[in-house]
Amino acid sequence: MKSTHFFDRSVSIAPLVTFRVLFGFIMACSVARFFLKGWIRELYIEPTYFFTFSGFGWIKPLGALGMYALFALMFLSAISIMVGFRYRIATTLFFISFTYVELIDKTNYLNHYYFVSLMAFLLIFLPANRRFSIDVWKRPQIYADHVPLWTISLIKAQLIIVYFFAGLAKLNCDWMIQAMPMKLWLPSLTHIPLVGSIFNYEETAYVFSWAGAAFDLSIGFLLLLPATRSLAYFAVVVFHTLTALLFPIGMFPYIMMLSTIIFFPSHLHEKCLAFFQKPLRKMPLINTSKSKGQATSRWVQYAIGFYLLAQIIIPLRYLMYPGSVSWSEQGYRFSWRVMLMEKAGHTTFKIVDQQGDKVEWATNYRHLTPQQEKMMSTQPDMILQFAHYLRDYYQERGFSKPQVYCNSKVTLNGRHSQPFIDPAVDLGDVKKTFPPMEWILPLEDSRRW
Amino acid sequence: MKNQDPTPLIICLCLLLVLGCDKNSEAPPTPSTPSRDLTTDRGNIAKHVANHFIVPAFKDLHEATISLNNLAGEFVIGPTETSLSSLKAALKKTWKAWQVAAIYQMGPTENQALRSAINLYPADELKIEGNISAGNFNLGTISNQAAEGLPALDYMLSSADPTVTISSFANQGHKDYLIALTNHLEQLAGKVHQDWNEGPYLQDFTSDQARGTDIGSAMGILINTMDRHFQRFLRDGKVAIPAGIRSAGVIRPLAVEAFHGGYGGELLSDALEAYTMLLTGEGLSGTKGMSMYDYLDNIDQGDLKANFQTTLQSALTNVQELNNDLSKQIEEDNQAMINLFLTLQDIVTLIKSDLASVVGITITNQDNDGD
C-alpha cells in the first residue's frame, strides 16, 4: 500500500496521542484556573451588558448557575479528552462550551482562546483516541497504531500559521524601528530580581523586539526541520518561559510549549507512551492495526484545503482596509496579532434627542465594567455596539430618536492621545456593517510623548 | 524547500516592513538614556506619597474633625452667632481637608467606607429631620449615608439666616443629632488615620515588591485611584451631575457640594490643587520629593508633563472664574460648568489614557490575561 500521495500516507499515531493528552491536561488546568481566579463571576455573571460578536447576538450568558455548569462541563470534557473517554463527544462538548463562552463578550477575546477553539474543533475530527485511551480499553477494536499523515500535519500546519503570522504582524514600524510597545513595557519590569536592571536600557527593547520577530517568523519552520528541531524546541521553552515571567499573558506560553511537542519524531512519542503504559499493562492493547494506509476521502481533502486557505486569508484580510490595522482594528482579531500594542483610550458619548433640547453625556461606568470600558474605548466595533445600546437605552428613557455622538481619544504605542472617532457622526444612525468604517479618523499625529 | 535560496523571502519581508511604516513617522529615537533606575524612582514616589501625602492628609482630616467635634460641643452648650461661626469655619476646614484625603481611596479609607460616611451629597434632608424627631438612629449604616457626614452638618448649620439656625438648636433633638454627627465623624476619621499609621497597608505600599507596575503595585494602585476618583467624584460628583450633564440637561443645583455653605467652587479648586500637588510632588508639609512629573521626565515624557500642567492650570482658571456658590453658577450660567466639564474630560484622557500608557499601568480593578 505504499503511496507517495500525501493524503494516502500514514504515520505513527503516537504524536497525536500525546498531543491529545497534553491538550486535555492543559485545558483542564486553564478552566480550573479561570474558576479559581473568580473570573466566571467577574466576566460572565456580574456585567449587565455584553459585547456579542456580529452574527452571534443570540449567544447570551447563562446566569450564575448556568455559567458554573457550563464551565464544569468544559472541565469534565477536557479531562475526558485527556484520558480518551467518549472522545468524540468530549471534544465536541469541549469545543462547543469553550467557544460559547468566548462568544459571549468580545471584551475577553484573546488570540489564544481562538487558538484553543480551533484546536478543539480540529480534534473532533482527528482519531486521537485510538490508542492509550479509555475508549480503546473498552472497545479494543478501535485501536490503531497508525493514522493518516495529514492528521498530525494539520496540527503542525496550524501551529506554524500561528507563529508565522504573529511574526509577520511584528514587521511594522512601531515594533521594529521604534521598539514599541516594548520600550513602554520593559521599563515597568525593572524591579524583577536579578535581570530587572537591564530593562532600564532602551537597547533591551530593541533586542526583545527584533528577537521576538525573528523567533515568531522562523520557529515553526525550524521545528519542522530535523536538523534544527531540538534547538528550536529549546528556544520555544526559553521564549515562552520568558514571556510568561515578564508579561501577564496567562496560559498561552504553557499551551504553546506543550503543543509544539508534536513536532518531535514519533519514536520519542512512542517511548514516552510506552513509559506511561507500563503500569497500565493490564489494559488489553491489541494491535489490530487496520487503519494503515487508509485512503482519505476527496471531501476530507477539500475540507482541509479550505480550512488552511481560510487560516491564511483571515489574518491577511486587514489588507482590504485602509489605514493602520493597529489603529482602526479592522481585521485585527483572529489574526495572531499578539503583544503589538500599548493602546489606551478615553471614550465618552453625548446623546442628543431629535429636537436637540435634551443633551446627556452617558456615564460609562453605570453600564460597563472597568475592563469592558477599557476594551470598548479603543475598539471601533465595540464603540459602535455600545453607541447602539445607548441609543436604545435613551429611547426608552424618553429621548425621541436619540443621536449618539462619540468623543474618543486614543493613544497607540506612546503617541499623544488623538481623536479616534469622528465626533460629528451620529453613531446611533450608523448601520452595523462590515469594515471599512469611515467614521474612524485616520492615525495622523505620530508625535510621541 | 530545504535548499532554496531564502533571498526572495527576505526581500518580501523587508518590503512588508517598509510598507507598514506610516509616512510621517519621525526619525529613529536617540540612543538610550544612560543611568536611570526606574525601580528606585517608583519606590521613591510610593514612599513620598505615603509619608508626605497620605499620612499627613489623614492626620489633617482627623485633627479637623476633632476640632469640629469640640466646637460642636461648645455650640450646643451656648448656641450664639460667634460659636456658630467658629463651628461653621471648622466644618469648612474639615471639608477642605477631605478634598486632599479623598484621592486616596484604598486600604484603610476603603475598609472604613469613609467616603460614603463623610461626603455623600446632596444630603437627604427629610431623612435628617426624621432622624432628629425620632431621636433614634444608627449612624454608619447604609440607610443613613445621606443623613450624616459633612453635607448633613452643612444642612443643619447653614441656614441663610444664622438666627434661624441658632433658634433651631433650642431643640434637644437637634443638639443630640449634631453631636452624634461630629462624634461619629471624629471616630471614623480617627480610625482611618490610625489604620494608615499603624496598619500594614503602607508597609506593603512602600515595600520593594510594590515597585513594579502590575495591579498590586504602588503605581498601579495610585494611578487607578487617581483615575477613579477624578472621574466619579471630581468630574461627575462636583460638576457633571449638578450641571445636568448626566440628567438630560436638567440642571440639579441642589446637588452641588456644600450647597448651603455656598463654597463648592473653593472645594472644587482644592480638589484640583490636590491633584496638582500629587503630580508635582510638593508634599503637604512643603517637602518636595520624587514625583510623577519627575518620573515622566526620567522616561523622556516631558511633553506629557507639560500637557498635564497646562490642562490642570486651565481647569483651575475655569474654576476660579466660577461663582463660589456653584448652585448660583449653574442657575445663572451653566455653560461655564459645561465648559469646565470638557476641560476635566481632557484631564481624564491624560490620566486614563496617556499617563497609564506611558507608565505601563492597566486601568482596571481586576487582574486579567492579555495577549
- Searching chain B, which residue's CA lies closest to the CA of residue A342? B357
Q: How far is A15 from chain B (nearest CA, A)?
A: 23
Asked if A20 and A128 count as a contact pair (C-beta separation under 8 A), the reply is: yes
pLDDT at B20: 55
- pLDDT, chain A, mean: 93
DSSP A44: I
* ipTM, interface predicted TM-score of the complex: 0.89
Instruction: Please write the tens of the pLDDT for every residue from B248-294.
Output: 999 999 999 999 999 999 999 999 999 999 999 998 888 899 999 99
The C-alpha cell that represents B41 in the structure block:
524612582
Q: How far is A404 from chain B (nearest CA, A)?
A: 13
CA dist B202 and B205 (Å) reads: 5
The DSSP bridge partners found for residue A409 are: A346, A419
Ordered by start, the domain boundaries in chain A are: 6-319, 342-429
Q: Among A138-142, A381-385, B28-32, B123-127, whose mean pLDDT is lowest? A: B28-32
Does the structure show a pLDDT above 60 at A292?
no
Percent of residues, chain B, with pLDDT higher than 70: 90
Asked if B236 and B344 count as a contact pair (C-beta separation under 8 A), the reply is: no
Would the CB atoms of A345 and B353 count as touching at under 8 Å? yes
Instruction: Tell the residue number behind the cell numbers 494602585, with chain if given.
Output: B221
CA dist A188 and B361 (Å) reads: 9
By residue count, chain A amounts to 449
The DSSP bridge partners found for residue A344 are: A411
Q: How far is A141 from chain B (nearest CA, A)?
A: 40
Would the CB atoms of B360 and A185 count as touching at under 8 Å? yes
Helix axes A87-104, A14-36, angle to 10 degrees: 40
pLDDT at B7: 58
**pTM assigned to the model:** 0.92
DSSP B27: P
Would the CB atoms of A173 and B363 count as touching at under 8 Å? no
Q: How far is A123 from chain B (nearest CA, A)?
A: 24
Helices and strands (DSSP H and E) totals, chain A = 18, 6
Percent of residues, chain A, with pLDDT higher than 90: 84
Q: From the candidates B12, B310, B357, which should be mutated to test the interface with A, based on the most A CB atoms within 10 A?
A: B357
Angle in degrees, CA A283, A27, A219, rounded to 5: 100
Would the CB atoms of B353 and A190 count as touching at under 8 Å? no
Q: Which amino acid appears at position A11 of this protein?
A: V
Q: Which residues 41-100 of B have a C-beta within 8 angstroms of A? A: 42-43
Contacts of B241 (CB under 8 A, 6+ apart): B247, B252, B255
pLDDT at B27: 41
**A173, A191, A353 member nearest B39 (Cβ):** A191
pLDDT at A195: 85
Would the CB atoms of A447 and B303 count as touching at under 8 Å? yes
Sheet containing A418-419: give its strands across: A359-361, A343-352, A403-412, A418-419
Asked if A226 and A268 count as a contact pair (C-beta separation under 8 A), the reply is: no
Q: How far is B319 from chain A (nearest CA, A)?
A: 20
pLDDT at A240: 97
User: A173 and chain B: CB distance < 8 Å anywhere?
Assistant: yes
Give the 3-state secondary structure of residue B219. helix
User: A346 and chain B: CB distance < 8 Å anywhere?
Assistant: yes
Instruction: Please write the tens of the pLDDT for every residue from A79-94.
Output: 999 999 999 999 999 9
Q: Which amino acid appears at position B227 of this protein?
A: D
CA dist B305 and B307 (Å) reads: 5
Q: Work out the average pLDDT over A18-22.
A: 97
CA dist A200 and B36 (Å) reads: 6
Would the CB atoms of B17 and A358 count as touching at under 8 Å? no
Contacts of B97 (CB under 8 A, 6+ apart): B57, B60, B61, B64
> Taking CB atoms and an 8 Å cutoff, what residues of chain A touch B214?
248
pLDDT tier at B19 (50, 70, 90 boundaries)?
low
Q: Which residues 233-272 of B have a C-beta within 8 angstroms of A? A: 236, 240, 245-249
- Searching chain B, which residue's CA lies closest to the CA of residue A248? B369
Instruction: Please write the tens of the pLDDT for every residue from A112-121.
Output: 999 999 999 9
Q: 3-state SS of chain B: helix, strand, coil percent to 5?
A: 70, 0, 30
Give the 3-state secondary structure of residue A150. helix
CA dist B323 and B328 (Å) reads: 7
Instruction: Please write the tens of the pLDDT for every residue from A395-429.
Output: 999 999 999 999 999 999 999 999 999 999 999 99
**A248, A324, A343 member nearest B22 (Cβ):** A324
pLDDT at B131: 95
- Searching chain A, which residue's CA lies closest to the CA of residue B36? A200
pLDDT at A72: 98
Instruction: Please write the tens of the pLDDT for every residue from B43-96.
Output: 999 999 999 999 999 999 999 999 999 999 999 999 999 999 999 999 999 999
- pLDDT, chain B, mean: 90
Would the CB atoms of B212 and A189 count as touching at under 8 Å? yes
Q: Work out the average pLDDT over A371-380.
A: 96
pLDDT at A5: 84
Angle in degrees, CA A398, A403, A408, rounded to 5: 125
Would the CB atoms of B352 and A188 count as touching at under 8 Å? no
Q: From the candidates B21, B22, B40, B226, which should be mutated to test the interface with A, based on the most A CB atoms within 10 A?
A: B22
Instruction: Please write the tens of the pLDDT for every residue from A280-291.
Output: 655 555 454 454
Buried b / exposed e over B306-321, threshold 16 CB at 10 Å, is ebbeebbeebbebbee
Helices (H), A251-399: 252-259, 266-277, 298-316, 325-328, 364-367, 370-378, 380-396
Q: Work out the average pLDDT over B316-344.
A: 97
Instruction: Please write the tens of the pLDDT for every residue from A259-276.
Output: 999 999 999 999 999 888
pLDDT at B214: 85
Cis peptide, bond prior to residue A423, ω within 30 of zero:
no
pLDDT tier at B5 (50, 70, 90 boundaries)?
low
CA dihedral B158, B160, B164, B168 (to 10 degrees): -30
pLDDT at B30: 43
> Taking CB atoms and an 8 Å cutoff, what residues of chain B touch A343?
357
Asked if A264 and A15 count as a contact pair (C-beta separation under 8 A), the reply is: yes
Residue A12's nearest CA partner among A304, A272, A220 is A272
